[in-house]
Amino acid sequence: MSAYTLKVRRYQPEAEEDDKRGAYWETFDVELDPTLSVLDGLLQAKNDKDGTLAVRCSCRAAICGSCGVKINGQSTLACKTQLGEAAEEAARMARNGGGEAEIVVEPMGNMPVIKDLVTDMESTHWTKFRRVTPWLLPSGPPPEREYIVPAESMVDVTQSVACIQCGACVSSCLSMEADPDFIGPAALAKAYRFVGDPRDGQTTERLYDLANDPHGMYDCTHCFSCIDACPKGVAPMNQIMRLRRLAGDDHGIRDVNNGHNHEMAFVKNIKKKGTLDESLLLQESYAPGVKGKLMPRVSAIKGLLGSIPTAIRGIKTGKMRSVPKLIPGVHHKLPGDAQGHVEEIYERAEESKIQLNLYIIGEGGEEDHAAEEVEPESVSEEPTTA
């Protein structure tokens, strides 16, 4: 048994006391074994001290997805986070940033709060979820027996099937913070579940739809937050990247958002320069290749002109620090033969093309061991994007 302090972000919509109007903090001291979870801590506080403390929970074993919260700022499940670990993290944060070593528990982000740790997932998460037509759309009537499909294809989509809709990824999504209309990591991972399923008959339609939606698959900025947050190893960002590769490469979808071209511009840019040459990036995004630059389309010119305010803002805020960076071609080169190494990495990655699927390769530390057993997949995966 150890003593822990939970600092909980509370909101009691019906509170009449002055100090409970709006959101406020309250600390609870609990005593539990360090291997028990933050949810166990919250439930001890609720059961023994304050029954008004609201938190959704059911299975206690990271299966039902009810108890999505933020712990020490990280979106996760309360039942999956051990008190001992959370306390260590809190102590580390206190050492680095000052303040008390308290386990901070807050409701999930990117969603309205109903009461304490209970958020309104219906108006956010579930609405986005329904946006991706989340059911199988086979072409034609079913066969007499089962659909015959490759065994690997079922294992492949199992990673997104493993999603329990807890909302931790949605809570952590930085793109959604900037664009609340972004369909988001959970719903897009769900979309991949159908796109990757050989029984679905609407693959192209689904990809076309999500590529051309201004808040669709190209709204993700590769920040990895959802991968960190996901308690089930679904790695939503990876599923989004697979959607993009399928859309842009395999189905040749040139989206109105210019998303595919923008992505390819990164790939080419790094292959050529090693680090990002932002002055070339925009040109390449809107007017790819020599042909694009010699005969730019009207939309390319419009797009480039439209980017000028962003570029100016970049200079003003100091994001773009050196003026030479604005001049195409002046970008510095990597020292020695480093650029050659970069190109080798590209080649190696192109050759191996393994799918990053936990159901196939296992957890961290075992990749080497497991990778030997992995057969190359039929679906190609570009090694690097942005």
Partner 1 sequence: MPEHDVLVIGAGLAGQRAALAAAEKGVSVGIISKVHPVRSHSNAAQGGINAALDVDDSWESHAFDTIKGSDYLGDQDAIEVMCREAPEELLHLEHIGVTFHRNEKGELGTRAFGGASKARTYYVADITGQAIMHVLYEQLMKYSEQIDRYEEWFTTDLAIDEEGRCVGAVTRNIKDGTTEVFKAKSVILASGGNGQIWQPTTNALICTGDGIAMAYRAGATLMDMEMIQYHPTTLAGKGFLITEGARGEGAHLLNAKGERFMEKYAPNKMELASRDVVSRAEQTEINEGRGFPDGTVALDVTVVPRKRIHEALREIVLVGRDFAGVDITREPIHIKPGNHYTMGGVKTDIWGRTNVPGLYAAGEVACVSVHGGNRLGANSLLDTLIFGRRSGEDGAQHAKGHGFGQVSRTVLSDAEARVDAIIARKHEGGRRVSEIKAELGKTMDEKVAVFRDEEGIQSALEIVQRLKEEATSAYIDDRGTVFNQDVLGAIELQNMLENAEACCMAALERKESRGAQYRTDYPERNDEEWLKHIDVSMNGEGPEISYSPVTITDWQPQERTY
CA distance linking residue 293 with residue 286, whole number of Å: 9
String of contacts with partner 1 for each residue 210-249, x by CB under 8 A: ----------------------xx----------------
Is the CB of residue 258 less than 8 Å from the CB of residue 247? no
The conformation of residue 26, written as its DSSP 8-state character, comes to E
CB of 285 to partner 1, least distance (A): 36
Question: Which of 3, 22, 25, 50: binder of partner 1 (CB under 8 A)?
Answer: 50
Rounded to a whole number of angstroms, the minimum distance from the CB of residue 32 to partner 1 is 12
| Other residues' Cβ atoms within 10 Å of the Cβ of residue 374 | 15
154 lies in the site for partner 1, by CB under 8 A: yes
Query: Of 103-111, 142-150, 268-276, 304-312, which part binds partner 1 (CB under 8 A)?
Result: 142-150
Distance CA 81, CA 40 (A): 10
* Strand ranges, E, within the chain: 2-11, 23-32, 68-71, 74-77, 103-106, 113-115, 118-119
Dist. CA 99–CA 91, nearest whole Å: 9
- Which of 27, 47, 322, 378 is the binder for partner 1 (CB under 8 A)? 47
Answer whether 164's CB lies under 8 Å from 232's CB.
yes
Helix (H/G/I), strand (E/B), else coil: 334? coil
- Among residues 158 and 380, whose Cβ is nearest to partner 1? 158
The residue with tokens 């982000």 is: 109
Looking at beta carbons only, is 38 or 265 nearer to partner 1?
38
Residue 197 interacting with partner 1 (CB under 8 A) = yes
| Closest distance of CB 318 from partner 1, Å | 42
Q: Does 379 bind partner 1 (CB under 8 A)?
A: no
Quote the least distance from Cβ 374 to partner 1, whole Å.
9
Nearer to partner 1, 100 or 366 (CB): 366
- 19 is a contact residue toward partner 1 (CB under 8 A): no
- Contacts for 371 with CB less than 8 Å, ≥ 6 apart: 354, 361
State the Cα angle at 178 between 223 and 188, rounded to 5°.
Answer: 60
Number of residues interacting with partner 1: please give it, by CB under 8 A. Answer: 65
In this structure, are residues 77 and 62 in contact, taking their beta carbons and an 8 Å threshold?
yes
Q: Which residues contact partner 1 (rule: CB under 8 A)?
A: 12-14, 35-36, 46-48, 50-52, 54, 56-66, 80, 82, 114-115, 118, 121-122, 130, 134-136, 138, 142, 145-151, 154-155, 157-158, 161-162, 164-165, 197, 199, 232-233, 358-363, 366, 369-370, 373
